[in-house]
Each structure stands twice: as C-alpha cells, then as structure tokens.
A and B are shown apart, each in its own frame.
Chain A
Amino acid sequence: MSEKKPVRRGFDKNFMGRILSYMFRYYKWQFFLVIVLIIVTAVCTLQSTLFTRTLIDDYIAPLLGQSNPDFSALGARLVKLASVLSVGVLSSFFYHRMTATIGQGTMRHLRTELFTHMESLPIRYFDTHKHGDIMSVYTNDIDTLRQVIGQTIPNFVNSGATIITTFVSMIVLSLPLTVLSCIMVTVMIFVSGKIGGKSRTYFVRQQRNLGAVNGYIEEMLNGQKVVKVFCHEDKAIADFEKINDDLRDAANNANKFANIMMPIMANIGNISYVLCAAIGAGIALSGVFPLTLGTLVSFMQLNRSFSMPVTQISQQVASIISAMAGAERVFAMLDEESEVDEGYVELVNVHEAPDGTLTEAEEKTDIWAWRHPHQADGTVTYQKLQGKVTFLDVDFTYDGKKTVLHNIDMEAEPGQKIAFVGSTGAGKTTITNLINRFYDIADGKIRYDDININKIKKPDLRRSLGMVLQDTHLFTGTVMENIRYGRLEATDEECIMAAKLARADSFIKRLPDGYQTMLKGDGSNLSQGQRQLLAIARAAVADPPVMILDEATSSIDSRTEKIVQEGMDALMHGRTTFVIAHRLSTVRNSDCIMVLENGRIIERGNHDELIEKKGRYYQLYTGNAIGG
C-alpha cells in the first residue's frame, strides 16, 4: 500500500479527477452505460425539440388551406415520435437510478476507505489534529462530496451531452446562427466566470466569519456557567453582536452574487434568443442562406436548449466551491502516512514438550511464543513469551526538536511491577506509549523478551500488552460486547470470569439488563468508577503477560476507588506491570519505583530504599514542602 503521494499542484483539476477515478474504479461499466443513457436521453429530448419544425414544415404547412385535410400521416408520425420519446423516458429512468447507485456506492467506498485509513494512522495524527476537525471530515466534508458525486457530476455529464447534441443539430440547421449562439454562450460563460469569481471571494469571507461566530458561540457556551457566575452577560452579548453583524454582511454579499447569477444568465439567454430571431429572420428574408421558417423556429428552440445547460452549470458554482474545500480535507486525510510496520517476529501459539522444545500449534494452547524467522539461513526459531521489558538509553521527542525523555534505562523481569511517579508532564505516560510503539523512539533500544520491539510485528506486540488508560473509553454495544473487546473469541463465561476478577461483576448484575445492558455514548449511563471497572475487565479477558496501567486520579470517591483498586491489584497479579501510580498502596507494593522529573529518571528503588534516601520521593510521600 505504498502508493506515491500525488503532488499537490493544479489542485482543482486534481480533485475532480480523483473523485472521478473513484467512480471509475468500482463502477466502470455502469459509468459508461450512464453516459450512453444520458446521450440517448439527450437525443430523444432533442427529437421533441426538433419536432416543432417537422410539425410546422411537413405536417401543417402542406395542409394549410386544404378543405379536407388528412391528418393520418401526422398521426403515424406522432406514434413514431411517442415510441422514440418512451425510449427517452425509460433511459432517463434508468440513468437516474444508476446514478443514485453509483453515487452512493462511491460514497460508501470513499467513506470506508477513509475510515480504514484513519484506523491505520499513527497515534501522532490523533494527537496533532483536533478530534472535532477529524469528525468534521466525516460529517461536513464528505457530505459536500456527496453533493458533487450525486448531483454535480451527473449534471455536468447531462449538460455536456445536451450541449453537444444541440450543437451538432444547430450546425446542421444553420451555420451562421450557430456562430451567433456560440458567441452569446461565450458571453454567458465569461459573465458567469466574473460573477462566480466575485461570489467565491465573498463565500470564502462568509466561511471565515461563520467559523468565527461558531468558534465564539462554542467558547462562550462552553463557559456559559462562568459567564453567569461572573455576571458577564452584557459584555458577551455586545461582543457577539459585533461578529454576528460581520457575518451577516459577508453572508449577504455572498448570497447576493449567487442570487443574481440566475437572472443574469437567463436574460442573456433571452437576448441571445432575440438576436437569433432577428438575424435569422434577416437571413431567411434576404435569402443569403437557405433557411425555412420551420428551421428558424426550431433553431430558436435549440438556442434555448443550448444556453440552458450553461445557466445550470453556473448554478453549481457555489456547491463546487464548497466541495473543493471539503475534498481537500478528505484527500488530505487519505494522503496521511499510515503507521509503518517493518516487524517480522510474530506471536504464535505453541506446544511445549517436556524437554522445553516448542512446536507451533494451530489451535489455542495458552502458551505463546515469538516466532523468529532468520533471513540468513531461512530457519525459524521459537522463543517462549515471558514478559521481560528492557529500556536501553532511550531518548524520545514528539516533534523532533524538544527531547521529552532522556537516557531512560530500566529492566523489568517477568512478573515484576514497575511504578512511575512524578508530576504531570514528567514523562510517565510517554514511557508507556513507547513500549507498545504508539510512538517510536529517537535513540536507544527497547527490548521485549530480549527482542528489539522494532522487529516485532506491531499487532503482535500490542496483543502481548494490556492497557488500562486513565480516561476510559467504551463503545456503543452491550456490557458483554465491551468486555469481549479484549479478546473477540472469548466465551460469555470467560467474560464473566474476567468481570469477576475485575470486581465489576456485582455492579453489572445490578444493571437493568445485566450483561446485556446497552451502553450508549461512551458509557455515559455508567459512573466513572464503573467504567473503569469495565476497562479492567476488558484488559483481564485479553490476559496478556504485560500490563500497562494508568491509575485514575481523584475524580472517584473513596468507596468506589477501593473496589477499583482491588480490581487493578487482581489484574496485576502475576504479570509484568508498568503502572503510572497515584496511590501509595500501589507504589509500596512495587518492585521498583521510578521517580521521573523533566523526562529523566531521577531516583529509583523500592519504597523503603527511596524513603531512606530522603530525596524527591520522600518529599512527595510525606507531602512536605517541595522546593520550587
């Protein structure tokens, strides 16, 4: 999937081309069929337009003055016309249906691709982009593309087909008049370009003002309680009215130009029509070129059909402008670089023979091993998964400029518990994010069971690590499904076992539908403590040899906290654990405590050793004055 990134130049064409290529990729033959059907429809429509001439010249004029006119020829001709027009109606029916299918299908592919791609993006992407902005790609930007794919493109094809078929017929009818019509259409295109350009400037300004108003509303309403507590209402209203007026003026201008486009276009069309009539009549009467009355009448109608699509396209300008901005953001996201995974060591199930030899197993055996293929001689070795983690002189930087972790050295033996303590921003969370390769280190080495983690396939590495984060995220679905998220194959019994281990079972049973209770909106119907218990159960069902825990801070009350603590303790039992600790009991039970400050480990040792030292840890522990 290492496609070359397209060079972002001549963007306008590029984006249309990209959208078209999507429609093409999945709906090639349908796309062509639609074009054919559109042309058939246009030709049929043209038949009805041209028929006026036939009607007047061939069927009415000869009968004029006859005392006993015979209309049977006309009748036969009308039946023929009716059958042609039925074809038009049918093909219109089919192409509209197919356009809907293609449009929605393309949207679905685009949406799925966007989502799949998003899931593959590194954590860094989500850290550096506001979640609101990411969401707006799905909610706003994709919608503008829906417009383009569903309406603008079919309209263009349709208008194009109409213009071409009309143009051909016009040439057949009268060359000089065609030239005239073309001149007028050129004028229309020129004028619409001019107005469109003006309109675009104002639309951009309107968007900017709209953004300002939305931003202000969001900020002030989020802080509305503060506004009230400080009696700041009048000031807030005054500020708002100012930007509100700015928005109104910009919106007014933008809409004004968009609104007058249509009458201008339509009336240039009218003038073109008059010129056509006058000049046509002049030609017909002078006899310079052969031109019958019927032909002229037909031509005048063609003149109409010729300028109409131009008017229609000019109406699409606004939606194209907004689609362009939308498409830019959609494609920008699609062009983001995915997470790179160059690992080749895999995690597999094995059987262990009494002598310690490991053989790979197809089925689940509860014994895991690293499968290590050696490129040099083509052999494969297996190494039992144990859960040893080593950091060797690790440096890390988020942005390539400011180093946030310096010379981190540490070793966790299987089953050991390592606690990180230190103030916010000291780098505790960052260290844990390096173990599962949410971020890649700048310098040094991290080893898992003595294998460089860069050599391990990311999914396998992460599968071998459990994580309970401080802010718990749950998914829409039942409680059971949320626990099973840890291991999709887990049976109901296994999930309930995990919940019991996590001390979550008792509150789950009290929920209205027990394990089948639906959770909505990130589990908003649960308390903070309950959500944490579920997150612990979720990690427990995954049963990984290494756990990363981020203890919650003070937002839950003492009673629930105690239960959460018990759950955490149960989860840590018998595993290598890295815990970002906030509680004394956790720290005291740790095999090793790392005290972090400004990205460096400044003290390490167990509780007693560190208390003895009377350093930073001692200060934190006793709550005594902290220097600085």
Chain B
Amino acid sequence: MLKTLMNEIGEYKKDTILTPVYTAAEVLMEVLIPYVTALIIDRGITAGNMDAVLVYGGLMVAMAFASLFFGAQAGRHAAAASTGFAANVRKDMYRKIQDYSFSNIDKFSTAGLVTRMTTDITNLQNAFQMIIRMAVRPPLMLVMSVFMAMTISSELSMIFVVAIVILAFLLTIIIANATVTFNNVFRKYDALNASVQENVSAIRVVKAFVREDYENRKFTEAAVNLQNMFIKAEHLVALNNPAMMLVVYGCIISLSWFGAKLVVAGTITEGNLTSMFSYVMSILMSLMMLSMVFVMISMSTASMKRIYEVLTETPDLQNPAEPVMAVENGDIDFEHVSFSYKQGTGEKVLKDIDLHIHSGETIGIMGPTGSGKSTLVSLISRLYDANEGTVKVGGKDVKDYDMEVLRNAVAVVLQKNELFSGTILDNLRWGNPDATEEQCREACRLACADEFIEKFPDGYNTYIEQGGTNVSGGQKQRLCIARALLKNPKVLVLDDSTSAVDTATDAKIKKAFAETIPGTTKLIISQRISSIEHADRVLMLYRGHVDGFDTPENLLKTNELYQEIYNTQIKGGGDFDQPSAA
C-alpha cells in the first residue's frame, strides 16, 4: 500500500526529500543554541566578560537566522510536497475512476467515491505533511539532545535515559487506549449524524406527525451518550500533560540535586547545568511530538486504505487487443446470456436470454421492477459483461469492439439521467462535440425539446444548473434524448426515459423516431402501455427470463403478464395526469 502511494509523490520527490533535510539542519541549530547559551552564561556573564557575551550572542543571532532560514525552507518545501502529493493522488484517482466500469462504480457507490476523493485525500495530505515535517524532527532532536547532554555530563544524562523510558512507557499506554476509544466514539458520532440526516430529509413526516419532541428526546439521549463516550476518551488523553509534567519535574529535581553536587565538585559549570535544564524540555517535547505523529498516522490509515482501494481496483472491462473500429448495423443478438451483478455468488439477474433483434426494429421492453430490463440493455453497450453467453451488435461480439466505437454506436438514455452545469448547447454537444447549432436544434425537434427551449429567454444558451435543477423532470428527459440522438446511433436505448413526459408528447417523440431514424434500432423500456403499443415487438421480462416476445397484438392474446398490465392501465387503473408540455 505504501509503495503505491509513494509513487504518487512523482515530481515532488525533491520537495519531499528537502523537507526533512532542511528540518534536520533546523533541528541542529535548535540543539546547538542552548549550547551557545551555556557559553554566553559561562564565558560571558559569569566571567564578567562583555566581549564574550557579544561574540557568543552574535553567534547565537547568526544561528537563529540560520535556523529561521532552514525552518522556512522546510516549511515551504513541506507545503509544496504535501499539496502536490495530494493533487497527484486526486488526479490519479480521478483518471482511474474514468477507467472504471459500471460495476466498479457500483462497488464503491458514487457517494463513497466522492468521500474518498475529498475528505480522505485531505486527511492523507495532512498526515503526509506531518510525516515529512515531523518524522525526522523528534528522533533527531532526541538523539542530538541526548548526545549534547552526554558531552556535558554522561552521569547527569542517565537521568534523561530513565525519564525517556518512563515517559515513553506512559505515553504508549495512554495513546494505545485512547486510539481504541476514539475509534468507537467516531463510529457513534457518525451514527448520530446519520440520524440528523434522517430528520432533515424526513422533516415533513416529523412535522406532520408532530414528532418534534419525540425526535428531540431521541437526539438528546444519543447526544448525551456520545458526550459521555467523548469525555471518557478525552480523559485518557488528558493524562498526557500531567504525565509529561511529572517526568519533567522529576528531571528538574534530580538534575538540581545531582547537578549541584557536580557543580560544587567542579565537574561541570553553572552554564552547563542551565543547558541541561533546557535539554530536559527539548527531549521530552520531542517524545510528545513523536507520540502525536503516531496518533496522526494511525488516524489516517483508514483514509489511506480507502484511497488505495480506489487506486488499485482493476477496471473489469478492458479494450480488446485488436478492436473492431466500426459497427456495421443495428442488429442485436443475445445468445444464451446470463448475468449477475456479484459474479459467482449473486443471484442471476438475467437467465439464459436468447433474443434476435433486426436493425431498424422498434422493441418495447416491459416487466415488473427487478425483472432485469435495465440490466439487459446495459449489456448491449457493454456497460457490464455477460457472465455466460454472448451479446452481439452488428453481428459481432461486443467484447471485440473498441469500447468508444461501440458506445458511440449504441446510445443509451439512462433511467437516472444527468445534465451537467453548462449551457443547453454544451450539454447537447456531449453527444457530438462537433455538432453545429443547426444539428442540435434538429435533435431537439425530434425529442420535442425545441418548444420549451425556445421559450427560455436565453434559448439554447440557457445555463443548466448543477444536476439540472432548473429544468423540470420532463424537460430534462427530453434534453437527454436529444443529446443521445446527436450521436447518430445505430442503436438507441431509452430506459424509462419518457416517464415524466406527457402521453401526447411521448407519442409525438416516438412518431418522430419512426419517421426520421428508421434505420436505427430502438429499444424502449417503459411501464406505460401507451409508450410501447406501437412497437414492432414487445419483450416481456419476468424475474430475469423472457416471458414473451411478440407483437403487442399477439401478446395481448397470449401473454398473461401483458394482459394484466394492459387491463390495469387501459381499463381504469392507469395514470393519466403526467406532466403536460405546457
């Protein structure tokens, strides 16, 4: 995992290496400064030598500037390295996701991918910066301070060794316990936020049933629960500081006692003793920092893991070695195709489908929810691969085509469709980047979208907000159809794409298809009889298998399922008030 992530450093390798190098230089200065301080005291102040004070003082100022320079350099490179690293990871994740097949995306879920690309990367960036800045500082500080202390007095340094062992021991216990507790707390915290989320989206239900007080009680209970867990965890962390103080004070007292004896005995000077006091602080501080680094790393491993998963996921659809670069016609053949979303274990969504559709046919597809309609059409443009059997378009296996060629020939208007922020023309040109405005208008005419677009003050230059929130459901669907038409596809798949369009307009669109693109094979999934009653043939799917595949007239005579739907919709149960064009 680390290796994969390390590769992301890329062109920021220099910054990544320079950061600890400069930090090391900075630390060196920081450790030497107390030494010079001792010189100021011993050679200057104690000896009453003003020159020495000035010389060593000057030296110390020079060192302070050097330390400042190194520190600033380290900070600068650390920022460049960590933000560059994060940008690289983000870029590669994004590229990787573009290679994902639908089943890869489904595996992570869109929301999951968004979190991984935002929150997790921010965590990783912070941890990375922390590591390159801090990984060398505390250990180096520790080693050098101990070394300096040793040169002053190896006897007194023994105090440090004992102190380090004690503090390291205490910190390890505290942190190990705290990490576990905190992980539990954060899980509870997520659960609490999930319940807020529930309340926000169901606020009408809460208010309609006058359950505000009930929800408040429930929330308060959970919040108190969370508070207590948090307090428990933080009480553990609260031990850090007193533990540190205890050890520092212990050192000061022992230093005073043994140090005084050594000074009186003339083994060390008063200045030496003062330096020792400042080394106490820097040694123990670096231990504290080290413990913080560990906490940071352990907290970011979850994020790291999630990012790693995205980066190393193998896209399960690959282009063939020698792809076919043209789709001849709109013939579609399913030869004993079976499919399940979870390979091997999952329930089969499609079972032994065997179908043959001729170029230019209009096929209606019906069936109850979960009968496999959307899955079936997804296999045609190779959004998923069949587990068994072969799917053919234009007489060739879909796996033999270049994916881009195939998908340009097979236009799919998805059930859950999206428009993107940008003008209507921008959105339409997704279908064909080179389409002229006239071509775009023509496509909109076919999709019956021209009438409402022309009513917008900015017409085809109307800006579509993110998620297409400023157009109605029916308008959005028609724009999506127009966008697909601009591809000039051999096969056009409409997956319940006119559900929000009123019956009359729906009929008009279907009629336009029949007249203007007769050569294109049209597959129309719908819950509405009226949408498919003029199709050449209708495919009834039921629980993943073909229940009937015949002309609508014949199905009405022979197929029970079709009859049932027909009866409920045409004879008194159907819905009629679909949004009108007006």
Contact = CB atoms under 8 A, between A and B. Distances in A.
A624 B50 contact: no
Contacts of B504: 623-626
Given A52-B277, A225-B102, A626 B249 contact: no
Nearest to A277: B40
Interface in A542-583: 542, 553-562, 565, 581-583
A215 to B, nearest CB: 7
Contacts of A271: 61, 64
Given A101-B231, A252-B80, A626-B581, 14 more contacts: A69-B264, A138-B196, A210-B122, A217-B117, A223-B419, A224-B105, A251-B86, A259-B78, A270-B61, A278-B57, A297-B41, A421-B577, A424-B473, A557-B369
Contacts of A301: 274, 277
Contact of A554 (B114, B260, B466, B499): B499
Interface string B219-243: 1100110110011001101111110
B203 interface: yes
15 contacts: A51-B256, A64-B263, A89-B245, A115-B216, A139-B193, A235-B433, A270-B33, A275-B57, A278-B57, A438-B207, A462-B209, A559-B564, A582-B575, A623-B503, A628-B582
Contacts of B209: 462-463, 467, 485-486, 538, 542
Contacts of B237: 100
B238 A237 contact: no
Interface stretch (A102-110, A369-377, A497-505, A508-516): A102-110
Contact of A48 (B53, B83, B249): B249
A336 interface: no
A66 B260 CA distance: 13
A75 interface: yes
Contacts of B220: 112, 115-116
A427 to B, nearest CB: 13
A423 B502 contact: yes
A565 B430 CA distance: 41
A218 to B, nearest CB: 5
A247 B105 CA distance: 25
Interface stretch (B68-76, B291-299, B386-394, B437-445): B68-76
A204 B53 CA distance: 46
Nearest to A223: B418
A282 interface: yes
Contact of A274 (B48, B61, B90): B61
Interface in A575-595: 581-585, 588
A195 to B, nearest CB: 11
Main secondary structure of the interface of B (DSSP, over half): helix
Contacts of B44: 277, 281
B478 interface: no
Interface residues of A, number: 165
Interface string A254-296: 1110111011101100110111011011101100000001001
B46 interface: yes
- Residue with the greatest number of chain B CB neighbours at <10 A, chosen from A92, A474, A562: A92
Given A119-B215, A138-B196, A475-B202, A581 B577 contact: yes
Q: Which of A118, A278, A558 has the most CB of B within 10 A?
A: A558
A558 B568 contact: yes
Contacts of B527: 554-555, 557-558
Query: Main SS of chain A's interface residues?
Result: helix
Contacts of B194: 476, 521
Contacts of A166: none
Contacts of B200: 118, 126, 131, 134-135
A236 interface: yes
B295 to A, nearest CB: 14
Contacts, number: 438
Given A60-B270, A423-B579, A105 B227 contact: yes
Interface stretch (A80-88, A319-327, A391-399): A80-88
Nearest to B367: A557
Contacts of A254: 79
B230 A558 contact: no
Interface stretch (B159-167, B325-333, B404-412, B545-553): B404-412
A222 interface: yes
Contacts of B110: 221-222, 224
Interface in A390-449: 421-425, 436, 438
B260 to A, nearest CB: 5
Contact of B383 (A96, A219, A229, A259): A229
A63 interface: yes
The 3 closest A-B pairs by CB, nearest first: A263-B71, A259-B75, A473-B202
Contact of A92 (B65, B208, B241): B241
A218 B256 CA distance: 62
Interface stretch (A175-183, A238-246, A353-361): A238-246
A56 interface: yes
A74 B257 contact: yes
Contacts of B71: 260, 262-264, 266-267
Contacts of A621: 576
A157 interface: no
B576 A56 contact: no
A229 B86 contact: no
Contacts of A219: 420-421, 466-467
Contact of B87 (A229, A235, A245, A281): A245
A252 B48 CA distance: 49
A78 interface: yes
A453 to B, nearest CB: 14
Contacts of A473: 198, 201-202, 204-205
A380 interface: no
B203 A228 contact: no
Contact of A559 (B74, B257, B368): B368
Given A135-B197, A219-B421, A285-B48, A93 B238 contact: yes
Interface stretch (B91-99, B148-156, B339-347, B351-359): B91-99
Contact of A522 (B201, B208, B210): B201
B261 interface: yes
A171 interface: no
Interface string A471-489: 0011110000000011010
B10 interface: no
Contacts of B84: 248, 252
B212 A120 contact: yes
Nearest to B65: A267
B157 interface: no
B231 A582 contact: no
B199 A104 contact: no
Given A229-B381, A559-B368, A436 B193 contact: no
A585 B568 CA distance: 10
A438 B204 contact: yes
A620 interface: yes
B60 interface: yes
B414 interface: yes
Interface in B155-202: 193-202
A245 B11 CA distance: 14
A302 to B, nearest CB: 13
B457 interface: no
Contacts of B201: 131, 473, 522
Interface in B555-574: 564-565, 568-569, 572-574
A168 interface: no
A135 B194 CA distance: 9
B488 interface: no
A381 interface: no
Contacts of B143: none
Interface in B43-69: 44-46, 48, 50, 53-54, 57, 60-61, 63-65, 67-68
A281 B50 CA distance: 7
A491 interface: no
Contacts of A214: 114, 118
A259 B580 contact: no
Contact of A82 (B60, B253, B579): B253
